[in-house]
């Protein structure tokens, strides 16, 4: 917490409803962690009374939830592209081994995912604007090693540039198996699995 921050209860942070986009998250929230979600940082000052107001056990339960691989943390990813039509064709092929398909293409937005969950979007960006962020990458989960290899091979066959080929990476994790490539716009895309 930065100097000058304090915790305040906010009525503008409503409880998660079943109809909201966070329904998946609401299933794992305990009463304690749910009450913590109504607190937020505000510029001001920190005092013992403010910190004492956090429900006991609330923050550790939230931290544990963030590190639980069964709990989704990111809802979707959006990437800009200067080569929209080519990028839509590229990702239609690359995402197929991961079980994702093109669900909508309006010419101004391409949405990929499953009928139940739209999770990957492409948007056209003017030529003069940068699209790939330095130091950033997108990591896509795969059901198994075969899917990692298939997505990587498909990407390279569609003009992606290899960063590293499918392999075990004990420096990352004992169970990590993945690959990484640059897409047509230079975005760093990782495909990985922790399945044996």
Domain boundaries, position 123 = 77-193
Same domain, 141 and 188: yes
Same domain, 107 and 156: yes
Same domain, 87 and 31: no
Same domain, 47 and 143: no
Q: What is the value of pTM for the model shown?
A: 0.64
Asked, for residue 72, whether it belongs to a domain, the answer is no
pLDDT tens, 95-104? 999 999 999 9
> Number of structural domains, the chain?
2
pLDDT at 74: 80
Beta strands of the chain (E only): which ranges? 5-9, 39-43, 77-81, 101-105, 110-114, 117-124, 137-141, 161-168, 177-182, 188-193
What are the backbone dihedrals phi and psi of residue 188, each rounded to the nearest 5 degrees, phi first?
A: -85, 120
pLDDT tens, 114-148? 999 999 999 999 988 888 988 999 999 999 999 99
Asked, for residue 71, whether it belongs to a domain, the answer is no
pLDDT at 127: 86
Same domain, 40 and 107: no
The strand pair at 110-114 and 77-81 is best described as: unpaired
């Amino acid at each position: 917490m930065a100097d000058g921050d304090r915790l305040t209860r906010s009525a503008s942070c409503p409880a998660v409803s079943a109809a909201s986009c966070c329904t998946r998250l609401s299933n794992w929230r305990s009463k304690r962690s749910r009450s913590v979600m109504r607190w937020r940082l505000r510029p001001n000052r920190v005092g013992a009374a403010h910190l004492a107001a956090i429900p006991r056990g609330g923050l550790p339960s939230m931290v544990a939830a963030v590190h639980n691989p069964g709990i989704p943390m990111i809802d979707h990813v959006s990437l800009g592209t200067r080569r929209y039509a080519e990028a839509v064709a590229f990702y239609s092929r690359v995402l197929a081994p991961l079980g994702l398909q093109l669900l909508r293409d309006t010419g101004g937005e391409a949405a990929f995912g499953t009928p139940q969950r739209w999770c990957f979007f492409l948007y056209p960006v003017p030529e003069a604007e940068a699209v790939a962020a330095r130091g950033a990458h997108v990591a896509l989960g795969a059901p198994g090693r075969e899917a990692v290899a298939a997505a990587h091979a498909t990407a390279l066959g569609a003009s992606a540039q290899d960063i590293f080929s499918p392999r075990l990476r004990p420096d990352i994790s004992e169970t990590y198996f993945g690959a990484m490539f640059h897409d047509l716009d230079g975005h760093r895309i990782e495909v990985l699995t922790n399945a044996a």
